Amino acid sequence: MKLSFFFQLLLAIFVFVSCEKSPKPQIFEGNALGTTFSMQFFHSDELMLSSSIDSTFTVLNQSLSTYISTSDISKINDGDTTIEVDNQFVTNFETAKRIYQETDAYFDPSVGILVNAYGFGPRKYNININDEKVIDSLMQFVGFDKFQINSSNTLEFPNGAFLDFNAIAKGYAVDRLGVLLEQKNIEDFLIEVGGELVGKGFNQANGNNWRIGVEDPDSPVDDRSFSHIVELNGYGMATSGNYRKFSVDDQGNRFVHTINPKTGKSEKTDVISATVIANTCMEADAYATAFMAMGAEKSREFLQKYTNVHALLYVAVGDEIQLQISDGFQAFIVD
């Protein structure tokens, strides 16, 4: 699972590629959801959207933030079975459940209890996570099939479980901001929240579709370069990766450590980073997280089956990093 601990480490995955030509876009940017956001769009009138943007983030936080003790999800994680979940929660839950099933449980929001146990989540446990018995005791709470929304819109779940939508909520926030702009009859926009994006229409400043750079994992942190430029029009894109935090074994093989929801352990995976393009940003966000846990071979098999999901993977092979691009993703690359 993509850990909330890494959110701020992933913000520079993408840059906007644009020209200094008129007309100029209207731009809104700031901080939200523990990260940064940026919106640029074209409209004939100067729009005042700050209040609507703030309201969108406030609603999302109240429903889904595990870092706000009074949010709905935090109350649920505290064992409250009386919370009637809202549309934001239901949408994230239902999309997560579908992707959980599609990925053979490699995408699993119930892994939040392990995220906390390894010290990456909002709650700290005074336990020895290296003890097999401790992992076994936590695994009884893991498995998204154990969670159901009943007819009264309350959640049924194992007492003691910890649900965490951080690996899908940022992408959902991007999609919701897109809906906000569409309701204002805005057709050409690019939205980014913490490195996750959606582009629609085109960049009127240069007449092209929105163009985004994908960072090269081999580039130094203080001098980042971009391996590819992609165009988005009506799609979401997200990246998961911890390629700046990896280990090297005695043979020189590089690995990142990702919590495996099937074993509960922080295990080696050969996928250094996964950039995904999908119909929505929330889907791209979730699939990118899943590919980190699945590894390269299972990810390739998935991409062959689900042709509406497209990915660019950086994969550790021996002491080298190889680039693996699905045919669908290749169609979005312009440089």
Domains of the chain: 78-166 (1.10.3980.10)
Q: Among 81, 97, 28, which residue's Cα sits nearest to residue 56?
A: 28
On average, the pLDDT of the chain sits at 87
Peptide bond into 220 cis (omega under 30): no
Identify the pLDDT of residue 4: 35
pLDDT tens digits along 20-43? 445 789 999 999 998 999 999 999
Identify the pLDDT of residue 10: 34
Q: What percent of the chain has pLDDT over 90?
A: 70
- The residues near 28 (Cβ < 8 Å, ≥ 6 apart) are 38, 39, 40, 49, 50, 53
Identify the pLDDT of residue 169: 95
Please report how many Cα atoms fall inside a 13 Å half-sphere around the Cα of residue 167, on the Cβ side: 32
Distance (Å) of CA 314 to CA 92, 120, 295, 305: 27, 23, 11, 20
Identify the pLDDT of residue 258: 84
- The residues near 80 (Cβ < 8 Å, ≥ 6 apart) are none
From the number of C-beta atoms within 10 Å of its C-beta (0-12, 13-18, 19+), residue 224 rates as middle
Tokens standing for 60? 């999302």
Distance (Å) of CA 182 to CA 2, 19, 151, 175, 328: 29, 24, 31, 11, 26
**CA diameter of the chain:** 63
CA distance 161 to 114: 10
- Residue 277, pLDDT > 90, answer yes
- Model confidence, pTM: 0.88
